[in-house]
């Protein structure tokens, strides 16, 4: 058998679970982080059952060792791989449950102190510059806070507001003390309404804080807090965001600057109502601002571009990782960008680590990171759309490979490989032949599938279709209206955003480059706004679809994957 990867010939992984060892543990971590109390009960029940099964297995191993006169250690160590998989799944589930309970504890603490006329002492570290509210009486900003009155909650995010006289004391990254009245964000009042509480939870914000009597922090912990790594990291990121915002305002006109701030900094406050409506109906918001598909494309664009210039793979990979990491810090690490960064990082580091990247392996690893960083991920719209879109893109590639193998299948009467063998995607199917058979079979020059351009065209056509089929029920459950036009333009939005982000960053941060090539992002941004304006006025730009339930979504996904697993 020819070598398929870096594995030895006698250790070639077979099956999807061996190629994607973190897929099922990642799903359990997400489940535990979303439903911690129910998962804790299930985990206790599973632990009791595992103890009983382990006891029976131990007794049967002792009996088997005595009857066959084999060593006791060999009989117990035979099924170690399944035990390791179960142990990894249990550890990931416990990790998810602990994170879910942590967010539950913070929300319950806020609910306990959120009473009219009650204020608490808070140590506040602002995360951004204060901006005036609509009425102008207060300034609002994002911050992380900690209170000595309920220290068990630790640091948590708030949407804070302060009076104008106190704004001068609020500097991003510098801690301040204050008295504040905490409030719980209001949920959706009607079915299909805007859930402000869920939106803020997706941004890792659990409360609203109305600050009063802002002062410098006092006490023995003030010096340690000022010189800790957390305020230093916040100061660095905030200074970078402020410099980026000022440079964008100087380099681009008002409408283009507002669009760039929405893409770079996640600040949509300066967009006009017409642009906001057009971007929502054309799918620009959902496929770029929420799903984060442009980060996946940006990894490949930067890597391939620098590799052609420098011929050094290490430099191109490092540059792509640094650019994506900087973009994630500027945008605030939403779930979609976090998923795309972890997947792109694993894909970039697979060749130097002599490993073969698998899309589902990237999803499993990013699921663990999202379960740790995002509160209640299965209730987060950005997480659902991003992971469903990535799953649809992988499914489109699998279908394209299946179509190619069906076209290149041998004539009747010739030898066919075993249909139950496992292919390079880890799926057993009728038209997905084993990887070893695909490598040993010479390509047919007369076949149209032997042309790489035809194969790329098939993947380009099938990916938007499968992304649409996978994402449509998820979007219908998250939004009261769905744009069918956005699925057609999904690749266009991702490609444009992936090209605009590095080009705009270079022209903004490097003044000589901006003086020479500043017209390139300007034309691209004008093109994005023009295409969004036209797409928003098309007939299928806003369609009301009944919201499916969780079982209906899973059933639709199973129907899409059924042809690949058929005999």
284 φ, ψ (degrees, to nearest 5): -65, -45
Helix/strand number for the chain, H first, E second: 24, 6
Helices 313-331 & 335-349 angle (0-180, nearest 10): 170
- pLDDT of res. 425: 42
Secondary structure (3-state) at 209:
strand
- pLDDT of res. 64: 52
- pLDDT of res. 78: 42
DSSP state of 484: S
- pLDDT of res. 135: 75
- pLDDT of res. 454: 67
- For residue 231, give the nearest of 276, 174, 292, 271 by alpha carbon: 174
- pLDDT of res. 56: 56
Q: Please enumerate in sequence order all residues whose Cβ is within 8 A of that of 565, keeping only pairs 6 or more positions apart, or say none.
A: 427, 428, 429
The pair of structure tokens assigned to 44 is 């206790």
- pLDDT of res. 164: 85
- pLDDT of res. 8: 37
- pLDDT of res. 510: 79
DSSP 311-374: --HHHHHHHHHHHHHHHHHHHT--HHHHHHHHHHHHHHHTTTTT----HHHHHHHHHHHHHHHS
> pLDDT tens digits, the chain, 567 residues: what are they?
333 333 333 333 444 444 556 788 888 888 888 888 776 667 666 665 666 566 656 555 545 544 544 444 444 334 445 666 777 888 888 888 888 888 888 888 888 888 777 788 888 888 888 888 877 788 888 898 888 877 777 888 899 988 888 888 888 888 888 888 888 888 877 766 678 888 888 888 998 998 888 887 765 555 556 556 777 888 888 888 888 888 888 888 878 888 888 888 877 777 888 888 888 888 888 778 788 888 888 888 888 888 888 878 888 888 889 988 988 888 888 888 999 999 989 888 888 888 778 888 888 899 999 999 999 998 888 888 889 888 888 888 888 777 766 666 554 544 444 444 444 444 444 434 444 444 444 444 444 555 566 666 766 777 778 888 888 888 888 887 787 787 778 778 888 888 888 888 888 887 777 777 878 888 888 888 888 888 888 887 777 777 788 888 888 888 887 776 654
- pLDDT of res. 480: 77
The pair of structure tokens assigned to 199 is 């939106």
- Say if residues 432 and 423 touch (Cβ distance below 8 Å): yes
- Say if residues 158 and 211 touch (Cβ distance below 8 Å): no
- Say if residues 295 and 548 touch (Cβ distance below 8 Å): no
- pLDDT of res. 274: 85
Radius of gyration of the chain, Cα coordinates, nearest whole angstrom: 27
- pLDDT of res. 515: 75
Pairing of strands 205-215, 156-162: parallel
- For residue 357, give the nearest of 54, 22, 94, 62 by alpha carbon: 22
The pair of structure tokens assigned to 522 is 């300007």
């Amino acid at each position: 058998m020819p070598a398929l990867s870096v594995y030895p010939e006698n250790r070639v992984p077979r099956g999807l679970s061996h190629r994607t060892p973190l897929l099922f543990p990642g799903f359990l971590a997400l489940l535990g982080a979303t439903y911690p109390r129910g998962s804790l009960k299930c985990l206790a029940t599973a632990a009791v059952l595992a103890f009983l099964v382990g006891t029976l297995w131990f007794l049967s191993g002792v009996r088997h060792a005595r009857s066959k006169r084999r060593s006791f250690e060999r009989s117990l160590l035979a099924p170690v791989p399944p035990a390791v998989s179960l142990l990894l799944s249990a550890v990931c589930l416990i990790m998810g449950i602990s994170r879910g309970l942590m967010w539950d504890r913070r929300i319950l603490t806020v609910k306990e102190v959120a009473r009219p006329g009650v204020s608490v002492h808070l140590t506040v570290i602002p995360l951004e510059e204060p901006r005036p509210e609509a009425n102008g009486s207060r300034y609002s900003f994002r911050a992380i806070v900690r209170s000595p009155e309920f220290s068990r909650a630790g640091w948590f995010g708030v949407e804070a507001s302060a009076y104008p006289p106190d704004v001068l004391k609020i500097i991003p990254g510098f801690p301040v003390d204050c008295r504040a009245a905490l409030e719980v964000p209001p949920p959706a009042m009607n079915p299909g309404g805007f859930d402000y509480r869920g939106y803020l939870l997706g941004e890792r914000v659990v409360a609203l804080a109305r600050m009063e009597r802002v002062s410098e922090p006092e006490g023995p912990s003030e010096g340690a807090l000022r010189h800790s790594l957390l305020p230093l990291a916040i100061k660095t990121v905030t200074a970078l965001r402020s410099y980026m915002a000022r440079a964008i305002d100087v380099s681009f006109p008002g409408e283009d600057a507002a669009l760039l701030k929405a893409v770079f900094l996640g600040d949509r406050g300066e967009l006009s109502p017409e642009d906001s409506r057009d971007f929502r109906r054309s799918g620009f918001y959902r496929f770029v601002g929420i799903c984060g598909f442009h980060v996946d494309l940006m990894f490949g664009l930067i890597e391939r571009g620098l590799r052609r210039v420098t011929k050094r793979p290490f430099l191109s990979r490092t540059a792509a990782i640094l650019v994506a990491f900087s973009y994630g810090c500027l945008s605030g690490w939403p779930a979609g960008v976090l998923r795309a960064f972890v997947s792109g990082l694993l894909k970039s580091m697979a060749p130097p680590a002599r490993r073969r990247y698998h899309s589902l392996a990237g999803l499993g690893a990013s699921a663990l990171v999202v379960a740790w960083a995002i509160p209640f991920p299965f209730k987060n719209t950005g997480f659902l759309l991003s992971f469903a879109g990535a799953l649809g893109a992988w499914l489109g590639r699998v279908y394209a490979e299946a179509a190619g193998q069906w076209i290149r299948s041998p004539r009747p009467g010739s030898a066919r490989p075993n249909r139950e063998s496992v292919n390079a995607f880890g799926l057993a199917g009728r038209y997905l032949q084993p990887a070893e058979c695909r490598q040993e079979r010479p390509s047919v020059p007369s076949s149209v599938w032997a042309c790489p351009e035809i194969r790329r065209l098939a993947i380009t056509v099938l990916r938007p279709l499968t992304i649409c089929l996978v994402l449509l029920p998820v979007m219908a459950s998250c939004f009261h209206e769905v744009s069918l036009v956005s699925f057609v333009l999904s690749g266009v939005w991702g490609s444009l955003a992936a090209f605009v982000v590095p080009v705009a960053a270079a022209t903004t941060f490097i003044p000589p480059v901006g003086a020479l090539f500043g017209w390139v992002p300007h034309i691209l941004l004008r093109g994005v706004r023009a295409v969004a304006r036209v797409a928003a006025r098309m007939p299928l730009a806003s369609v009301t679809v009944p919201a499916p339930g969780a079982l209906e979504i899973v059933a639709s996904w199973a129907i899409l994957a059924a042809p690949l697993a058929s005999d």
